[in-house]
Amino acid sequence: MQLSENNTYQIQGISPSELIETYGSPLYVYDGGTIRRKVAELQEAFSSVNMKIKYACKANTNLSILRLMREIGVELDVVSPGEFEMGRLAGYDAGQITFTPSGVPFHEVKEAVEAGALVNVDSIPLLEWFGKTYGSTKPCLIRIKPNVAAGGNAKIMTAHADSKFGISVLLIEQILEVVNRYGIKVIGLHQHTGSDIKDAEPFIQVADILFETAKRFPDLQIVDLGGGFKVSYKPGDEITDMHLLGTKISERFKKFCAEYGRELQLWFEPGKFLVSESGYLLTTTTVVKEDPARNFVHVDTGLNHLIRPMMYGSYHHILNTSNPGGTEKTYNVVGYICETDTFASDRTLSEVRPGDILVMLNAGAYGYTMSSHYNARFRPAEVLVDHGSAKLIRRRESLKDLLGTQDGL
């Protein structure tokens, strides 16, 4: 979102008010140019090694976003059969999709393997099952839990000792025993530390652990370091320095490959880094309540459409795009759901009037994909702005979408 010369906010030259006029409110809007820029930034940072991006698509599974990713050479990481099918519908070959389950029923793993996906094995029981079922006939990756604590908050840390994810690195002898007993073809090791990790240090720490562990597996082709890079949430925010991270990790990766005796592929699975900043939730102010305690701004959306502030305490920058440069006032920006769904507390905005369009930033990742029908509200439409023009990529829901699965109609 840029402030243009005539002091109006625009996404590739299109104003939020034009978008709402055409597509209704509230509205998810994604800037394809931002996605392209983020992908290029990651590719450049790792241009000296054989690096592949596997977009963790739980962040945003709109088919048009998946197709855009495919066009620019990004492959997929999925966590469910539904995401796998969406990847296929977006035109991905099964072989370009990695399934990284977390304690799922084994039949889901079977279906994915048989459809041609590569699977990240995340527990000893699954490894046993994989060995018993496939012996050495199917390749797999193993998700290692390196016992490193990093991430923006406890709910999004996934690699500390207490985390449910992956197989503890402390169980390495047991892993090798199962692998050798069945002759399992382990072609990659994987780890994902968590989300919103700013510094290079935790990535280096887990990379070193994974490289050390990798030396125990002779047939590797891939080392997958997961996702979790921190993005910018507000002007002046500290973010992962991708260039620095690229230099440091690439250096270590090359040293590891030399010791290992073979050139391997380095994989990353970012979600947020690729799509968070591309997305905006456009909302319309319904009521401005001047309460003795504080001023409330109610908008025509709530935790049903964007739950991150309530679930994680996430910060989403908010712009009053209808009143740029207006007098500043302090507000609580709240939703219309019958729960306390506060998007922002004590937030300074240019004066908000009923009907003003408020835009929430960083809505491209874990926005629509985490939305619900709570309070029997419809999900909003989604629009992709790319190469200077806007396109509806998902229509707004109606009562039919809400009732579609119910009996007794």
Ligand X SMILES: *Cc1c(COP(=O)(O)O)cnc(C)c1O
Annotated binding site: 228, 308, 312, 339, 366
Query: How far apart are alpha carbons 28 and 45 in whole angstroms?
Result: 30
Residues 6+ apart with CB under 8 A from 398: 378
Closest CB to ligand X among residues 319, 363: 363
Residues 6+ apart with CB under 8 A from 55: 66, 69, 74, 75, 76, 77, 269, 270, 271, 274
Instruction: Work out how close the CB of 268 gets to ligand X at its nearest, in angstroms, rounded to a whole number.
Output: 8
Instruction: Work out how close the CB of 374 gets to ligand X at its nearest, in angstroms, rounded to a whole number.
Output: 23
* Interaction pattern, residues 55-84, with ligand X; x per rule: CB under 6 A: -x-xx-----------------x-x-----
Is 140 in the active site?
no
Query: How far apart are alpha carbons 30 and 210 in whole angstroms?
Result: 35
Footprint of ligand X on 98-127 (CB under 6 A): 100
Instruction: Work out how close the CB of 273 gets to ligand X at its nearest, in angstroms, rounded to a whole number.
Output: 6
Query: How far apart are alpha carbons 269 and 54 in whole angstroms?
Result: 5
Beta carbons of 269 and 56 less than 8 angstroms apart: yes
Question: 375: exposed, middle or buried (C-beta count within 10 Å: 0-12, 13-18, 19+)?
Answer: middle
Residue 343: closest CA among 383, 389, 283 = 283
Residue 211: closest CA among 231, 191, 194, 238 = 191
Can you tell me which of 16, 271, 309, 335 binds ligand X, judged by CB under 6 A? 271
Binding residues for substrate: 308, 312, 339, 366
Count of CB atoms situated within 10 Å of the CB of 312? 16
Binding residues for pyridoxal 5'-phosphate: 228, 366
57, 140, 257, 338: the catalytic one is 338
Query: Which tokens is 387 given?
Result: 């190469």
Closest CB to ligand X among residues 58, 185: 58
Query: How far apart are alpha carbons 316 and 343 in whole angstroms?
Result: 7
Instruction: Work out how close the CB of 192 gets to ligand X at its nearest, in angstroms, rounded to a whole number.
Output: 4
Instruction: Work out how close the CB of 197 gets to ligand X at its nearest, in angstroms, rounded to a whole number.
Output: 8
Is 160 near ligand X (CB under 6 A)? no
* Interaction pattern, residues 184-223, with ligand X; x per rule: CB under 6 A: --------x--x----------------------------
Closest CB to ligand X among residues 243, 395: 243
Is 273 near ligand X (CB under 6 A)? yes
Closest CB to ligand X among residues 54, 347: 54
- Give the total residue count for the chain: 409
CA distances from 371 to 154, 193, 224, 301, 304 (A): 21, 25, 29, 11, 5
Instruction: Work out how close the CB of 211 gets to ligand X at its nearest, in angstroms, rounded to a whole number.
Output: 18
Residues 6+ apart with CB under 8 A from 388: 12, 13
Is 270 near ligand X (CB under 6 A)? yes
Can you tell me which of 32, 81, 202, 227 binds ligand X, judged by CB under 6 A? 227
Number of residues engaging ligand X in binding (CB under 6 A): 17
Closest CB to ligand X among residues 365, 390: 365
Summarize as ranges the residues that interact with ligand X (CB under 6 A).
Answer: 56, 58-59, 77, 79, 100, 192, 195, 226-228, 269-273, 365
